[in-house]
Amino acid sequence: MHHIGFFVCPNHRILDLAGPLGAFEEANTLIEGGAYRLTVISEPGGIVVGSSGMPIDTQPSLSTVFDTVLFIGGDIEAFQNPGVIAAAKNLTANTGRIASVCTGAFLLAETGLLDGRRATTHWRLAPELQQRYPQIRVEADRIFISDHNVWTSAGISAGIDLALALIETDHGIEIARNVARELVVPYRRSGGQSQFSAMSRMEPESDRIRMALAFARDHLVEPLPIERLAEAARLSVRQFGRAFRSQTGETPARAVERLRVEAACGRLQSGSEPIEQIAKAVGFSDPERMRRAFVKLHGHPPQAIRRAGRQDSAL
């Protein structure tokens, strides 16, 4: 029986815990005899209160040896407690597989386990993770990342994606697919492994600006100067430029570039098309322009995104 410990601190996020816990619980119902023993742990043991105010009973982290430990996200400041860091170091030193959900990556970072590794966390906090721990290779747009025996996942509900990937590693793709089906969640999120779409990130209030963005998304392969987008929004160029910037925080040209990069990411991760062909298909004039856009937005060239996708799919 594979024993999994779910390490929580005060002010942990309940969905960070309940999402992956529920996925492993569902796997137990599908596998004859069960597959996982599930234990919620904390540094001292006893009652730990989450950010929602809900108390949960835990076992002391030093009382058992685990096959896998998931560090559950929550209040980053709770991860600065010396006792918590010491407990985390002990667990990471004595456990074969380590994972984190959302801001749990900050606690793993405190142990030094993420030094030199690829890692992710909630997109909003990824810049802070990179700033605090520059030795980590933070990839802000990933749902989850596996670097050898260390796994990290993005924000909150991404813990379910992480759990499904771990279940697949342990018991194969069919079991993992069936767990996803029972949970009524996607087995693999559409659009590659991006944490959020460019469209949802911009979230304009005006129907006209949304119309222009939808038009751009549907015509990426074509030239998209501001005049054409303004026409799609049925506004003058001056009105459109002002409204677009105020509602999205970006220029129309930057927004189009972001949409093209997102479209290219999906193709890079899901297929083997030549990069030159992908650049042309999403509207970049040449591969070098696409490379510069990727480095600017993601910190990595397209080749790195493709390699990361292949590493994840090989798990």
Q: What angle do CA 235, 236, 237 make, to 5 degrees?
A: 115
Question: Once rounded to an integer, what is the mean pLDDT over residues 17-41?
Answer: 95
pLDDT at residue 198 above 90? no
How far is CA 263 from each of CA 139, 177, 232, 284, 300, rounded to the nearest angstrom? 18, 25, 21, 11, 16
Percent of the chain whose pLDDT exceeds 90: 67
pLDDT surpasses 70 at 196 = no
pLDDT in tens, 33-85: 889 999 999 999 999 999 999 999 999 998 889 999 999 999 999 999 999 99
pLDDT of residue 263: 86
pLDDT of residue 218 exceeding 80, the answer is: yes
Structure tokens at 97: 């597989």
Q: How confident is the model at residue 20 (pLDDT cuts 50, 70, 90)?
A: very high
For residue 190, what pLDDT band results from cuts at 50, 70 and 90? Answer: very low
Q: How far apart are CA 266 and CA 165, in angstroms?
A: 19
pLDDT of residue 193: 46
**Range 3-18 average pLDDT:** 96
Does residue 314 register a pLDDT over 70?
no
* Domain spanning 198-313: CATH superfamily: Homeodomain-like (1.10.10.60)
> Residue 199 has what pLDDT?
60
| 304 pLDDT more than 70 | yes
Domain with CATH 1.10.10.60 in the chain: 198-313
Q: What is the pLDDT of residues 238-257, one digit of tens each?
A: 999 999 999 888 899 999 99
Domain with CATH 3.40.50.880 in the chain: 2-183
CA 282 to chain centre: 23
CB count in 10 Å sphere of residue 157: 16
Confidence of residue 189 (pLDDT cuts 50, 70, 90): low
* pTM more than 0.75: no
pLDDT of residue 315: 47
CA-closest candidate to residue 180, choices 19, 68, 16: 19
pLDDT band at 26; cut points 50, 70, 90: very high
| Phi, psi (degrees; rounded to nearest 5) at 62 | -85, 0
* 9 vs 218: which has the higher pLDDT: 9
Domain 2-183 has CATH 3.90.1150.180: no
Please report the pLDDT score of residue 204 as a whole number: 81
